[in-house]
Structure 1
């Protein structure tokens, strides 16, 4: 019995720091722009996190999407107001432009091989900006929520290549095809 207790205690001491650091990484993160978000969630794939403030009277959310990435890749996060997967999502993509500056813009994911060209989403997007800090790309934006709801399907992604200022296809295996879920902004 004492040996079992000691084994459990030792295991919990090994696991505890991992759980503690994972829980702290989202809620204790400080943005270089000093932006503050009331809610955050560690997304289950690609090491990404989503931070947000929901403003009910105006039916808007201010977000920060953060994901690890090299300076040659891209990241994206988006909502799908009518479905549950990538196709139909209205996304915001960010990467380093060939001129060396970071760029972020909305795009529509209308197929499994979207153009990734800038395009107007079905909801308003404002206050769009991006930055690269500690090998992570961060997208900031304010979105008008469609239909007056608070629960949406969302997708997030990362790709390793940008060619001629166009993000190229992401991997179609592993975590890249699992990066979707539901979020309630309440």
Structure 2
């Protein structure tokens, strides 16, 4: 029995490692539609999300692509918090399928723990906001003017499962959803 355990245990560990690595797609190997290419990316530690970007020091702007797994009935969001480290105060981009069937993406400010999620201006320039749904992932694209010409920010990302009346519903308040924040340096 002990000799069987010596063989089975290492084989089991090897199988688990193989399965994990086969399912872990790195952001650097992702191919975008329309021949979009991003020079930098990071696999975010929660919700299976990734952030891709190109930084332009001459225009002090950043082109981003945020992607996260999501059903066609849910929503995703990503944003910067120029003054804090939590959700409140974040300037975000949100995407979901509108009741008319189109995928929409727009900027909004999270000014409380119960934000309106209505489209609105951010405290820094944002343009070329769009989204697409590919292989059960929502992808948000945008160009951001970097606030105060900084490169390092607190950022947040999120995913929720419901959209009601064309307004993203509350996301879970436990697990990975409350851990979905960190810092990003666009150098």
The TM-score, its normalising length taken from structure 2, stands at 0.90
Partners of 1:53 and 1:37 in 2: CA distance: 5
- Cα deviations across residues 68-103 of structure 1 (Å, max 9, x unaligned)? 001110000000000001000000000001110000
Q: CA deviation at 1:12?
A: 5.5
In the other structure, the counterpart of 2:69 is: 68
Q: CA deviation at 1:35?
A: 0.5
- Cα deviations across residues 132-167 of structure 1 (Å, max 9, x unaligned)? 011100000000000111000000001111111111
Unaligned runs of 5+ in 1: none
RMSD of aligned Cα (Å): 1.9
Picking from 17, 20, 30, the partner of 1:15 is 17
In the other structure, the counterpart of 1:55 is: 56
Partners of 2:93 and 2:185 in 1: CA distance: 19
Write out the 4+ residue segments of structure 1 that deviate beyond 2 Å after TM superposition. Answer: 7-22
Q: CA deviation at 1:55?
A: 0.5
In the other structure, the counterpart of 1:88 is: 89
Unaligned runs of 5+ in 2: 1-5
The TM-score, its normalising length taken from structure 1, stands at 0.91
In the other structure, the counterpart of 1:104 is: 105
Report the number of matched residues.
183
Q: CA deviation at 1:108?
A: 0.2
